[in-house]
């Protein structure tokens, strides 16, 4: 038998099981993510995130959704990973550079002593070209009419390293939907043929020029209490459709994120996200001897 130690963390309620995989790693992280993410028979979470060695950055984030599919990037997840890496002494740099499947991301930590209070992530420039987002259309997808479940929806598509479909709503009806009804709606978008790699979907109510309320359906995980890349995509879409300014607070079910899409300076066109990174508990699970392999 092998013992796998883990840390449960969340950013605004978007929770993952974190595993330090610097010397040894799960042989099948996809299957392990399904097992550990189960909220009744496992640890419970939106997926599995591993802290792994990198040849190009301070550390690498390897992410798996609750259904076992590989994730490109997670804004809430990367904040938690950065806190864990810093407080465990795996990375001493601040800001630190994290390698993800969506490229290199820089995370600046706000500290009290050696304790991380919050983190700001340079999420990079949004991707707005349809084919690059991975939608079945050319050009920018802004206020684009899409037939979904027998209704015509107006969508705006943005990639922050993973594809997002942003839908602006005129009232709070979507926030009052029962979980089952919201899940049915989310799946219609996630598996729509317009999105060949599936899609994350954000339903946004702009309550002011500096405040967005959001409910999100994530591909591979279902409804989550927060989505960092989704909050960034929502702000970009809101600016493109004149719903808000370039800096706004995004209110999610699990808390708030501060998002800024910079217009000028050295970081022009980059999106910055600031939010918490909370450690919930540490634990360990028993695995079979062949379920862990050394890192080469």
* Global confidence as pTM: 0.94
pLDDT of residue 114: 85
- CB crowding 112-137: b at 16 or more within 10 Å, else e: eeeebebbbbbbbebbbebeebbbee
At residue 72, the pLDDT reads 94
What confidence score (pLDDT) does residue 213 get? 98
Is 228 in a helix, a strand, or coil? helix
The helix (run of H) or strand (run of E) holding residue 156 is strand 151-159
What pLDDT shows up at residue 99? 98
Mean confidence (pLDDT) of the chain: 97
As annotated, the active-site residues are 74, 227
Domains of the chain: 2-124+277-294 (3.10.310.10), 130-269 (3.10.310.10)
The predicted pLDDT at position 289 comes to: 87
The secondary structure of the chain in percent helix, strand, coil, rounded to multiples of 5, reads: 20, 45, 35
Share of the chain above pLDDT 70, in %: 100
pLDDT given for residue 64 in this prediction: 98
CA dihedral 29, 31, 32, 33 (to 10 degrees): 90
* pLDDT for the residue numbered 1: 81
SS3 20: strand
- Give the residue among 222, 219, 218, 165 at the shortest CA–CA distance from 194: 165
Residues of the chain predicted below pLDDT 50: none
């Amino acid at each position: 038998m092998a013992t796998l130690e883990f840390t449960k963390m969340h950013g605004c309620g978007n929770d993952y099981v974190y595993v330090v995989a610097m010397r040894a790693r799960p042989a099948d992280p996809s299957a392990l993510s399904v097992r550990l993410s189960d909220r009744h028979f496992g640890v419970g979470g939106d997926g599995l995130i591993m802290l792994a060695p990198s040849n190009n950055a301070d550390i690498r984030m390897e992410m798996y959704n609750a259904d076992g599919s590989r994730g490109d990037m997670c804004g809430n997840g990367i904040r938690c990973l950065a806190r864990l890496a810093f407080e465990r002494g795996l990375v001493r740099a601040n800001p630190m550079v994290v390698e993800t499947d969506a490229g290199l991301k820089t995370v600046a930590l706000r500290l009290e002593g050696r304790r991380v209070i919050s983190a700001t992530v340079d999420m990079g420039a949004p991707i707005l070209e349809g084919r690059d987002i991975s939608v079945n259309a050319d050009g920018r997808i802004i206020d684009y009419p899409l037939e979904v479940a027998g209704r015509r929806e107006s969508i705006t598509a943005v990639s922050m390293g993973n594809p997002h479909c942003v839908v602006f709503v005129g009232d709070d009806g979507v926030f009052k939907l029962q979980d089952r009804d919201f899940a049915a709606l989310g799946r219609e978008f996630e598996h729509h043929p317009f999105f060949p790699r599936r899609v994350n979907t954000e339903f946004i109510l702009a309550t002011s020029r500096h405040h967005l309320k959001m409910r999100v359906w994530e591909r591979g995980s279902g409804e989550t209490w927060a989505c960092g890349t989704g909050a960034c995509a929502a702000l970009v879409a809101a600016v493109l459709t004149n719903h808000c300014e370039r800096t706004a607070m995004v209110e999610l079910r699990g808390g708030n994120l501060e998002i800024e899409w910079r217009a000028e300076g050295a970081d022009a066109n980059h999106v910055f996200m600031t939010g918490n990174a909370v450690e919930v508990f540490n634990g360990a699970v028993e695995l079979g001897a062949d379920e862990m392999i050394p890192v080469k």
